Amino acid sequence: MTTANYSKHIANLLADYTEALHFASTDKSAIAAVLIHSGSEKHYYGDDRGVPFQAFGHLLHWIPVNRPNQFIYFRRNEKPIYFQLIPSDYWYEQNIEGEECWADQFSIVKLSSLSELADQLKKLSHSDIAYLGQGDDLAHSLGIDERLINPARLLAYLDFSRAIKTDYELDQLRSANQLALKGHAAAKTCFLHGGTEYEIHMAFLQACNILEEESPYTNIVALNEKAAILHYQFKRKSNKEQGRVLLIDAGCRIRAYGSDITRTSVSHAAHPVFRSLVSAMEKLELELVDQVKPGQAYQSIHASALRKIAQVLIDHDICSGEQEELLNKDIPQLFMPHGVGHLLGIQVHDVGGHQSDHQGSTLAPPENSPALRNTRIMEKDMVFTVEPGLYFIPLLLEAERDSSKGALINWKLVDELYPCGGIRVEDNVRVQESTPENLTRQFE
């Protein structure tokens, strides 16, 4: 960790939270402090086995501790407090590994129970403390005013602000991309040597030296026709038909910040048209990255992706007609039903993607692309994914076989390409004043 950048990051948070508390305060509920809760451990229904824990993003924004019942307390003009709760319980780890710089940024108070936290808060005054996090019952037990439990204006302000990254955050995102690319290289090698989905998945994890639960999301490892399932979650352990296509969507997490990278690889046995499509989509994705610049709506990148995909479909004889005709009939959406990307940071699909201001106003995605997760105006140091795709999804295409849209589709070729599944190419991109920074490609 770069101590100087982390110090600047905390200074930035202090300023943001000071402004956020002022913004969220009203005559009826003035807010001078906030208590942020990482969350509580949960168990599967009817079982005593714990659900894998994921800390609340706004706590991780301060300190990368992915443990239950951790708390950050911030009051204006005071040094923030990290309430580090480690229950006296011999079943569990009795230590939280920290970094030296934490002591410079926080007053660290160690607790062994939630009742001790209640005692600490009594010393700090309850009347003006807002609570952010899961668990209204806990907030009530701590004496938090009902009106100050997850106040909407405060959350909206903080969600909106998180899209702009500090130098410390950019450092983590670069490292997360660099590490994940080692996994992608190992996964491709395993694929080309005939590996199963399970073996490819394990090759990725081993190359990154991580456990599956340490990943920012569940890896998508899809061979052949399964590449047409956007969030395919299974890992087949057999490979009866030699893998011709691999679509792998996998990332790594560094100090709570996750990368999100997708690559599509083909073997020499893949359909020649599909091989050409992969090359076309790789070129198309880089062209979209080049369009990233401040002041433009992210929807412009999505609209450009649809336009370019329409031309790819025509160029490969998958569709007939003119580009405008395909766009007017929403035909590209049959082949790319998802949005072209999303905000990225502590959460893979990070918060505030549809917000248009600190007040929480939202801007819905276009009617013809309801799955677009980001409608923000691009700003300097905003980070998001750019991930165009082109898939052969029977569920979507077969419904149009006898329609006016279907009349423009080369069904003979589509039938041949169904076994190939689909293509997605995804990079993580930072907005800069001039040339965008491709956080992924700089390490390839």
- Of the candidates 115, 105, 92, the one whose C-alpha atom is nearest the C-alpha of residue 12 is 105
Q: Would you state the pLDDT for residue 205?
A: 98
Tell whether 154 and 172 lie within a shared domain: no
Owner of token pair 């329609």: 403
pLDDT classification of 126: cutoffs 50, 70, 90: low
Tell whether 215 and 299 lie within a shared domain: yes
Mean pLDDT of 383-398: 98
Structural domain total, the chain: 2
Tell whether 28 and 155 lie within a shared domain: yes
Per-residue pLDDT of 292-301, as tens digits, reads 999 999 999 9
The residues near 236 (Cβ < 8 Å, ≥ 6 apart) are 196, 197, 198, 223, 226
Tell whether 116 and 172 lie within a shared domain: no
Tell whether 382 and 421 lie within a shared domain: yes
The DSSP result for 353-421, as a single string, is TTB-STT--B-PPPTT-TT----PBP-TTBEEEE--EEE--HHHHGGGTTSTTGGGB-HHHHHHHGGG-
Per-residue pLDDT of 403-424, as tens digits, reads 999 999 999 999 999 999 999 9
- Of the candidates 196, 364, 185, 389, the one whose C-alpha atom is nearest the C-alpha of residue 278 is 389
> For the chain, how many helices (H) and strands (E)?
14, 15
Tell whether 205 and 131 lie within a shared domain: no
Q: Would you state the pLDDT for residue 1?
A: 60
Chain center to CA of 270: 31
Instruction: Out of 145, 161, 177, pick the residue that ends a domain.
Output: 161
Mean pLDDT of 391-404: 98
Task: Kindly list the distances between the CA atom of residue 188 and the CA atoms of 67, 199, 222, 418, in Å, as whole numbers in the listed order.
Answer: 33, 11, 12, 22
In this model, does residue 123 exceed pLDDT 90? no
The first and second tokens of residue 158, run together, are 């903080």
DSSP state letter for 345:
S
User: Which residues on neighbouring strands pair with residue 246, listed in sequence order?
Assistant: 223, 265
The first and second tokens of residue 329, run together, are 């009939």
Range(s) of the domain holding residue 182: 167-443
In this model, does residue 193 exceed pLDDT 90? yes
Q: Would you state the pLDDT for residue 27?
A: 73
The residues near 348 (Cβ < 8 Å, ≥ 6 apart) are 216, 217, 251, 258, 260, 342
Tell whether 318 and 227 lie within a shared domain: yes
More confident residue, 239 or 379: 379
Q: How far apart are CA 23 and CA 19, in angstroms?
A: 6
Instruction: Out of 129, 161, 193, pick the residue that ends a domain.
Output: 161
- Of the candidates 335, 350, 348, 356, the one whose C-alpha atom is nearest the C-alpha of residue 409 is 335
Per-residue pLDDT of 86-118, as tens digits, reads 999 888 889 999 999 999 999 999 999 999 999
Instruction: Out of 110, 132, 161, pick the residue that ends a domain.
Output: 161
CATH number at residue 103: 3.40.350.10
Per-residue pLDDT of 317-343, as tens digits, reads 999 999 999 999 999 999 999 999 999
In this model, does residue 6 exceed pLDDT 90? yes
Calculate the dihedral angle through the C-alpha atoms of 192, 195, 200, 206, rounding to the nearest 10 degrees: -100
Mean pLDDT of 350-378: 97
In this model, does residue 390 exceed pLDDT 90? yes
Owner of token pair 């965008």: 436
Tell whether 259 and 192 lie within a shared domain: yes
Q: Would you state the pLDDT for residue 125?
A: 73
Tell whether 299 and 284 lie within a shared domain: yes
Q: How far apart are CA 137 and CA 144, in angstroms?
A: 10
Per-residue pLDDT of 196-219, as tens digits, reads 999 999 999 999 999 999 999 999
Q: How far apart are CA 277 and CA 207, in angstroms?
A: 29
CATH number at residue 358: 3.90.230.10
Q: Would you state the pLDDT for residue 58?
A: 98
Per-residue pLDDT of 230-257, as tens digits, reads 999 999 999 887 889 999 999 999 999 9
The first and second tokens of residue 110, run together, are 């160690």
Q: How far apart are CA 106 and CA 83, in angstroms?
A: 9
pLDDT classification of 5: cutoffs 50, 70, 90: very high
Of 118-127, 210-219, 266-275, 416-425, the range with the lowest mean pLDDT is: 118-127
Q: Average per-residue pLDDT in the chain?
A: 96
Q: Would you state the pLDDT for residue 220?
A: 98
- Of the candidates 50, 274, 26, 64, the one whose C-alpha atom is nearest the C-alpha of residue 171 is 64
Euclidean distance between the first and the last CA atom of the chain, given in angstroms as a whole number: 23
Q: How far apart are CA 164 and CA 54, in angstroms?
A: 22
Q: How far apart are CA 131 and CA 136, in angstroms?
A: 9
In this model, does residue 402 exceed pLDDT 70? yes
- Of the candidates 90, 297, 56, 41, the one whose C-alpha atom is nearest the C-alpha of residue 158 is 56
pLDDT classification of 309: cutoffs 50, 70, 90: very high
Tell whether 404 and 265 lie within a shared domain: yes
Q: Would you state the pLDDT for residue 186?
A: 98
The residues near 396 (Cβ < 8 Å, ≥ 6 apart) are 334, 337
Q: How far apart are CA 213 and CA 369, in angstroms?
A: 32
Tell whether 88 and 185 lie within a shared domain: no
Mean pLDDT of 257-265: 98
The DSSP result for 326-338, as a single string, is HHHTT-HHHH--S
Q: Would you state the pLDDT for residue 240?
A: 80
Tell whether 217 and 343 lie within a shared domain: yes
In this model, does residue 440 exceed pLDDT 80? yes
Task: Kindly list the distances between the CA atom of residue 86 and the CA atoms of 69, 113, 115, 362, in Å, as whole numbers in the listed order.
Answer: 8, 7, 12, 39
- Of the candidates 262, 263, 187, 265, the one whose C-alpha atom is nearest the C-alpha of residue 217 is 262
The first and second tokens of residue 241, run together, are 């038909």
DSSP state letter for 297:
B
